[in-house]
A = this chain, B = another copy of it.
Amino acid sequence: MTEKKTALIVSAHAADFVWRCGGAIALHAELGYNVTVACLSYGERGESARLWKEGKTLDEVKSIRKSEAEAAAKALGVHDLVEFDLGDYPMDFTRDDRMKLVQVMRDVQPSFMMSHSRWDPYNSDHMNTTQIVLECRATAQAWGHNPGEKVLGAPQVYLFEPHQTEQMGWKPSVFLDITPVWEKKKAAMEAMNGQVHLWEYYTRVAQQRANHFKRNSGGMSGGRDCKYAEGFESIFPRTVDEL
């Protein structure tokens, strides 16, 4: 536990935290947050097609993906990369796995958390992860779970941008300007060598979201300038003193 503000990202596969919220991580790290990434798997089976085509073994793939994830985390300024190594496609969660995630939530005491969209017909690992995050959030809030520990408060859960947003029923409620940290996100993406084809894709995502940032900050008359942005959907209502 720390006096610094903290955030917790739960990423089903090694690279999700890079493509989907690398900018948010880097930005909040610069703002002084300790950002922890819970990386549930290396995405070794389902997100490493290039490596498998090259004939790598499972251990080699995992080792390469692990190195890439760690390099990306470093580029983004991640405070702590917690590797669960649950395996992917499919990702099953034992009670122990879930208790471990509860413990991370309690240790980090995040101001906010991030995870995947609620529905993803292309990728059950993603939607199952979000169910588990919500379950673990409730357990971490329970006074009777490991009594004596500091219980979790009520951190917002942001759902980061999935592939093919409309098919996932994902609707962004907030756009974050990540222009100041774009070079860091770019470096992190370039650390993921197995998925080179996604570099340009997620660069364009960030440019389109910047357009949306401008439109929503100022209408057709302009709005605030922004070159790169990320979008997030909030699950819970906000509590404020001024609108």
Cβ proximity bits A105-131 to B, threshold 8 Å, 1 near / 0 not: 000000010000000011111000001
A214 CB to closest chain B CB (Å) equals 8
From the candidates B90, B135, B176, B213, name the one contacting A98 in the complex (CB within 8 A): B90
- CA A121 to CA B134, docked complex, whole Å: 6
Is A2's beta carbon under 8 Å from chain B? no
A153 CB to closest chain B CB (Å) equals 5
**Per DSSP, are chain A's interface residues mostly helix, strand or loop, or mixed?**
mixed
Is A4's beta carbon under 8 Å from chain B? no
From the candidates B47, B131, B174, B234, name the one contacting A239 in the complex (CB within 8 A): B174
Is A235's beta carbon under 8 Å from chain B? yes
Q: Whose C-beta in chain B lies nearest to the C-beta of A215?
A: B154
Is A79's beta carbon under 8 Å from chain B? no
Cβ proximity bits A123-158 to B, threshold 8 Å, 1 near / 0 not: 111000001001110110111110100011110111
A2 CB to closest chain B CB (Å) equals 18
Q: Quick one: copies of this chain in the complex? A: 6
Q: Which residues of B contact A61 (CB under 8 A)?
A: 144
Is A173's beta carbon under 8 Å from chain B? yes
Docked-complex contact B243 and A158, CB < 8 angstroms:
yes
List which A203-243 residues lie within 8 A (CB) of chain B: 204-205, 207-208, 211-213, 215-221, 223-224, 226, 231-232, 234-243
Indicate the size class of the contact surface on chain A: 35 or more
Docked-complex contact B49 and A154, CB < 8 angstroms:
no
Is A92's beta carbon under 8 Å from chain B? yes
Docked-complex contact A175 and B237, CB < 8 angstroms:
yes
Docked-complex contact B219 and A167, CB < 8 angstroms:
no
Q: Which residues of B contact A28 (CB under 8 A)?
A: 242-243
List which A159-191 residues lie within 8 A (CB) of chain B: 163-167, 170-177
Cβ proximity bits A72-103 to B, threshold 8 Å, 1 near / 0 not: 00000000000000001110100100100000
Docked-complex contact B153 and A45, CB < 8 angstroms:
no
Query: Knowing A175-B240, A238-B175 touch, does A165 contact B166 (C-beta < 8 A)?
Result: yes
30 contacts between A and B (CB under 8 A): A28-B242, A45-B143, A45-B144, A46-B141, A46-B143, A46-B145, A46-B220, A49-B221, A61-B144, A90-B139, A92-B95, A112-B243, A123-B138, A143-B220, A151-B221, A152-B221, A153-B218, A153-B219, A153-B223, A154-B219, A174-B238, A174-B239, A174-B240, A176-B241, A201-B208, A216-B237, A216-B238, A217-B239, A223-B239, A232-B243
